Chain A
Amino acid sequence: MTEMSEFAELFGLFNYWVFIVLLLIGLYTIIAKSNYIKRLIGLNVFQSAVFLLYISMDKVEGGTAPIILDAGADQIFSNPLPQVLILTAIVVGIATTALGLAIVVRIREQFGSIEEQDILEMETP
């Protein structure tokens, strides 16, 4: 068990680093890409990174999912609150994506392109 906790000490922040990396990859995709669909994919990665941040908070070592089937038993449960928050955030994510995609489809119909650079050229005559 001690070996395990040394390992945990070393990699205990790994989740947060991955959160940061994913956040930045998502942000990079949004800023640097001209294609609207690609940007929305980037937005998805960006939001997923935040899910990881929250869910990483909820873990308690040796715990299980917070479903109390045997009230008397001496069990450790992980934290339910971040899970609840992220359930909400996931739903918000798909709502944004769906609306964004609908708008992209309409842009394609109206402008004939889904590349921002093309459209900027069209808008400034």
Chain B
Amino acid sequence: MSFANHVIIFLVAVPLAVAPVISLLRVRHLPWLMACITSLFVFVLSIQLTQSVLHSGDVTYALGSWPAPYGIELRAGALTAMMTVIVSGVSTMALWFGRYGIYVEVGEQRAHYFYAAWMLVLAGLLGIAVTGDAFNVFVFMEISSLATYVLIAGGPDRRALTAVLKYLIMGTIGATFYLIGVGLVYMMTGTLNFADMEIRLADVENLRPVLVAAGFITVGLALKAAIFPLHVWMPNAYTYAPSAVAVFLSACSTKIALFILLKFDFFVFQKNLAGHDVQFSWFLMPLAAIAIIFGSAVAINENNIKRLLGYSSVAQLGYILMGASFVTYLGLSGGILHIFNHALIKATLFMAVACVFYRVRSAELKDFAGIAQKMPWTMAAFVLAGVALIGVPFTAGFTSKWLLIKAALEAGVVGYLLLAVVLIGSLMALVYVWKVVELAYFKPATADLSRVSEAPLMMRIPLWIMVLMTLYFGIDPSYPVRLANAAAVSLLGHLS
């Protein structure tokens, strides 16, 4: 067997198969170690997949050797490859980073189930990314969602339970809506394979069920992706989840749903529904703009830092959506680049907050007063990542916003409006980041911080690796830009 041909299935099958093994390991540290190694292995594979996609084009794989559309097909282009790198990379860093925190927050006697669930989330997200089959997306979405509920329910606060139940109910509604949409498309085309759907939809005369299917799929995935105004489950879920889980999920889980939404809209519907691109942008553009303003405004008024970051994610998802809603090369590549950059930045911010949480046992804003003197490394990391979130030049956050601004300038009158939204959003980000920084650096401590010390070295190292990457990709963004451009080209390629 030639290993290189099977890389794409290993991405999914390895973490999947490791999960039951981990669930049986009741030995201390072993579940964690095994999860880390698996995640790192998958990360290396996803880099390899990315290389082969960049060099020799899309990768496909027929499961069970059955030809598509009869069997299930895996298919990876540039966008898919980038998603796998983000998911597996953040998972690896969060696992490395989260070891101490998880022992404290989740408890040791059930850690083996926790790490098994983590592997399932990883496998689920990667499975969604690489599959070329609409129903298969649903199956892996359910694996990742159910495992995500498990991870969040491990949070130390009892409110984690109510947050997770809300997420469970809304997530199930979202997935079921998606299933209805897929069912309707299947009803009209007789196929479940994305590529095949695109071709066969062209022959469908009565498009009404397809139109309704597009509606169901959009709403269902928007629920999963926490797109404004369907984001209500998200801030609390991130706030009460164990810290390492918040790092992982904030960077990956909503973006995967967004990715499927883009895939459906650009691969399946754009060419086949008359005027879909216009409807698509007129539907999403206002939502994106409102999400940016609303999310930032709530973040400014929020007193819990984790929830603040959650609302900031609502806003940042708005940028991604805005990029997609331009339906132009520059806009798409800016939006896709922002998926990458935001994953990096938000994971770093959640890590920094998790470091403080580990020492102070609180994420309330008031408990951050004067913390910078006790935890200088952690807070310095927070400042740098915060600067990147605002979008200051020479940080990762700048490159994607620059592309978005250029795309907005291309878009005429509406573009100026959106340009204003981007700038106002950035200023608002400055306000909520500054709120934390001011308190941490310039205010005297309100609580007794004498027993608080800097976070353990094994938490600071991954944190700073992330910070350095944020800076590095700000100065030399060529790698993600190359991927984002390739992805934008392939998305638009289906339009003409």
Q: Which residues does A use to contact B, with CB under 8 Å?
A: 23, 27, 30, 36, 39-40, 43, 46-47, 50, 53-54, 57, 81-82, 85, 88-89, 92, 95-96, 99-100, 103-104, 106-107, 110-111, 116, 119, 123
Contact = CB atoms under 8 A, between A and B. Distances in A.
11 contacts: A23-B180, A43-B169, A47-B172, A50-B176, A92-B139, A96-B142, A100-B165, A100-B168, A103-B161, A111-B158, A116-B162
Nearest to A95: B146
B285 interface: no
Interface of B: 135, 138-139, 142, 146, 149-150, 153, 158-159, 161-162, 164-165, 168-169, 172-173, 175-176, 179-180, 183, 186-187, 192
Contact of B183 (A30, A53, A119): A53
Given A110-B158, A110-B161, A99 B172 contact: no
Contact of B142 (A39, A95, A100): A95
Given A50-B183, A85-B135, 10 more contacts: A46-B173, A50-B179, A54-B183, A82-B183, A99-B146, A99-B168, A107-B161, A107-B162, A111-B158, A123-B159
B468 to A, nearest CB: 39
A103 B168 contact: yes
B176 A36 contact: no
A85 B146 CA distance: 19
A103 B192 CA distance: 34
A47 B176 contact: yes
B172 A43 contact: yes
Q: Is the interface of A mostly helix, strand, loop or mixed?
A: helix
A39 B169 contact: yes
B162 A123 contact: yes
Contact of A106 (B161, B175, B187): B161
Max chain B C-beta neighbours (<10 A), residue from A57, A88, A89, A92: A92
Given A47-B172, A107-B162, A99 B149 contact: yes
A50 B146 contact: no
Pairs A-B, 3 closest by C-beta atoms: A110-B158, A92-B142, A107-B161
